[in-house]
Amino acid sequence: PRVELAWAMKAHQHAQVYFNLISSVEPKFLKLTKVDERIYEEFRGSFRELRVDVLDPEELKSEAAK
């Protein structure tokens, strides 16, 4: 249990650092990896009309969204 707790604490620290790094850059200038670009292209191919800047949970639950 102590090893798992230590791992979880370290993972949380890394996640916080990573989040702070990507949050400090304006999104239009953020370039991650080629894999991330591919994921985004696939996402946009499936969800062309989805506005990711403003997500409304109720809209996502609607019959049209499903």
In a domain, 6, yes or no: yes
In a domain, 52, yes or no: yes
Give the gyration radius of the chain's Cα atoms.
Answer: 17
pLDDT by residue for the chain (66 residues), tens digit each?
899 999 999 999 999 998 998 899 888 888 778 898 899 899 999 988 888 888 888 888 888 877
Report the pLDDT value the prediction gives residue 41, as an integer from 0 to 100: 92
Domain holding 54, by residue range, is 1-61
Please tell me the total count of domains within the chain: 1
In a domain, 66, yes or no: no
With a threshold of 0.85, does the pTM exceed it? no
In a domain, 24, yes or no: yes
List the one residue out of 31, 59, 29 whose CA is nearest residue 47.
59
